[in-house]
Amino acid sequence: MKNLFLFSTALFTALVISSCNSDDLNLQAAEVAESNYMYEMNELPTFSSPVNEISQTEIDGLIQMREEEKLALDVYDSFYDSYKLVVFDRISNSESRHTTAVLSLINYFGLSDPAKTEIGQFSNADIQTLYDQLIAAGNSSVEALKIGAYIEEYDIADLKELINETENIDIKTVYSHLLRGSENHLRAFVRNLKVRGTVYEHQLLNSDDYDTILKGESIAPVLDSAGNCINN
């Protein structure tokens, strides 16, 4: 996994601020428009892979993503409570579905769920530290939106890596859905920042992936019925 502590002052110094005088109505309209089309897993796929053919790498990945998706959910809930921005509410609802999707895989393979029931509490010490840092840094609505974009980059980078590490069709299918959702979330945060006069500079994704996502395209694999990638 990438260094958890890339979130630092570098995140903020890399953000370029330009002038913009959008009124409140324009901002509200943008929030709704850019968060109204989140890619959801309204129905989980039917899992079919053998439950006893999962590697330790795949187990570690599921545990990792369960914690990461809970981090996103808890951060966005906190920021919505603080700033009442529609985008946080909409994406929080999406993250709730993401956490359920990963939990369904964990249950299917008979693994122990690492997620704690308490909001803002994590089994993974590094995730706990990152959560605390993100909450402390989100001291304004704009800073909170920047953090949202950073979290989605973080998820996309990890999901891309985990997809490449597994041949399990059930895991790969769920991860691909989550990746497309995170791409939509990233676009929503970036555009919400834009209408506030802030240009977000990507922190974790390479330029090709970031530009592809911002154009409205996806870097997620398209899978055939056997779980093979058919678009790369």
Confidence of residue 44 (pLDDT cuts 50, 70, 90): confident
Dmax of the chain from CA atoms? 58
Query: CATH for 56-232, among 1.20.1260.10, 3.40.50.2000, 3.40.630.30, 3.30.450.20?
Result: 1.20.1260.10
C-alpha span between 149 and 205 (Å, rounded): 11
- The owner of tokens 């590094």 is 126
Hey, what are 124's tokens?
Answer: 């993974």
Task: Give the number of other Cβ atoms within 10 Å of residue 84's Cβ.
Answer: 11
Hey, what are 84's tokens?
Answer: 């009442």
Q: Regarding predicted confidence, which is higher, 227 or 166?
A: 166
At 154-167, the pLDDT tens digits run 999 999 999 999 99
Confidence of residue 222 (pLDDT cuts 50, 70, 90): confident
